[in-house]
Amino acid sequence: MLGHPPAYGPGAGAAPARRLTVLVVEDDPFVRTALIRHLTDTGHAVRSVGTALEALREVSQVGCDLVILDLGLPDLDGGEALKMIRGLTNVPVIISTARDDETGIVRLLNDGADDYLVKPFSVEHLDARIAALLRRLGAGASTASPVLRVGALAVDVQRREAALRDAPLDLTRREFDLLAFLARRPGVVITRKEILAEVWHHTYGSDQTIDVHLSWLRRKLGETASSPRYLHTVRGVGFRLEAPRP
């Protein structure tokens, strides 16, 4: 059960119908670890934060497909956090609460929560809620299409395959993550900080690491920094992936 010190079972195994990027907002380390572990085991990409303010930053700057939001956070009341998230995005939000308080839950649903779980809850219950939510939203409502297309570049995030003009690209795990992250927002400048957080799961690190991986990726795309086609460096800021102009 999540919400109590967790009893870990073997990974649930079955791949999810769709790989989501889930933001776990939870200050309790036991629950947080268990959620991350379970969601990762079931094939989702997970980011986690322990405060409402960090959650707002993640939602506004990085984006995700689903938020699991604990109501009892150290900095802001979860209900307030929910309203602020709703002010930024329509991303699905599942509330996780220790309070089985009907009036409170009704208010949260009215304030824009998509569903709720009362702690302690089992991972099966969580999976069922996520599946039900996805069904309600419909396959077409996905914020993350399984195949991202930027010009002649296709990135299949579920199969983790990428191709340029139908020719498969032989990418390392990092290179793929990097390309997929950039391809999710074509034409938008992505900062080094965002790349570090998303691809390396660090909030700080060396710019050189990113530069090295980007130069390998660039080579595999058959281009150079001085005459870029898809991958553009925006000096002092970050990078942008976009289709070459005809």
In this structure, are residues 144 and 155 in contact, taking their beta carbons and an 8 Å threshold? no
Q: Is 77 strand, coil or helix?
A: strand
Which position has the token pair 């929560």?
Answer: 113
* Under rule CB under 5 A, residue 70 binds Ca ion: yes
Of the candidates 150, 144, 151, 173, the residue with the CA atom closest to the CA atom of residue 160: 173
For Ca ion, the nearest residue by Cβ is 72
Q: Which is nearer to Ca ion, 28 or 198 (CB)?
A: 28
* Under rule CB under 5 A, residue 32 binds Ca ion: no
* Under rule CB under 5 A, residue 54 binds Ca ion: no
Q: Which is nearer to Ca ion, 39 or 150 (CB)?
A: 39
Q: Which is nearer to Ca ion, 73 or 231 (CB)?
A: 73
* Under rule CB under 5 A, residue 72 binds Ca ion: yes
Residues ≥6 apart with Cβ < 8 Å to 76: 51, 52, 53, 84
Residues ≥6 apart with Cβ < 8 Å to 30: 4, 5, 6
Count Cα neighbours of 81 within 13 Å in the Cβ-side half-sphere: 29
Helix (H) or strand (E) holding 85: helix 78-88
Q: Which is nearer to Ca ion, 57 or 99 (CB)?
A: 99
Write down the least CB distance from residue 55 to Ca ion, Å.
12
Span of 24-32, 43-51, 57-65, 76-84 interacting with Ca ion by CB under 5 A: 24-32
Span of 38-46, 66-74, 123-131, 207-215 interacting with Ca ion by CB under 5 A: 66-74
Span of 17-25, 67-75, 176-184, 215-223 interacting with Ca ion by CB under 5 A: 67-75
Two tokens, residue 161: 């395959």
Q: Which is nearer to Ca ion, 3 or 63 (CB)?
A: 3
* Under rule CB under 5 A, residue 2 binds Ca ion: no
Write down the least CB distance from residue 98 to Ca ion, Å.
7
Q: How far apart are the first and last CA of the chain?
A: 55
Q: How far apart are CA 88 and CA 153, in angstroms?
A: 30
* Under rule CB under 5 A, residue 79 binds Ca ion: no
Q: Using CB under 5 A, which of 27, 156, 161, 211 touches Ca ion?
A: 27
Span of 22-30, 99-107, 178-186, 212-220 interacting with Ca ion by CB under 5 A: 22-30
| R_g of the chain, CA atoms, integer Å | 19
Q: Is 88 strand, coil or helix?
A: helix
* Under rule CB under 5 A, residue 175 binds Ca ion: no
* Under rule CB under 5 A, residue 120 binds Ca ion: no
Q: Which is nearer to Ca ion, 72 or 205 (CB)?
A: 72
CA angle 194, 71, 104 (to 5 degrees): 140
Residues engaged in binding Ca ion (CB under 5 A): 27-28, 70, 72
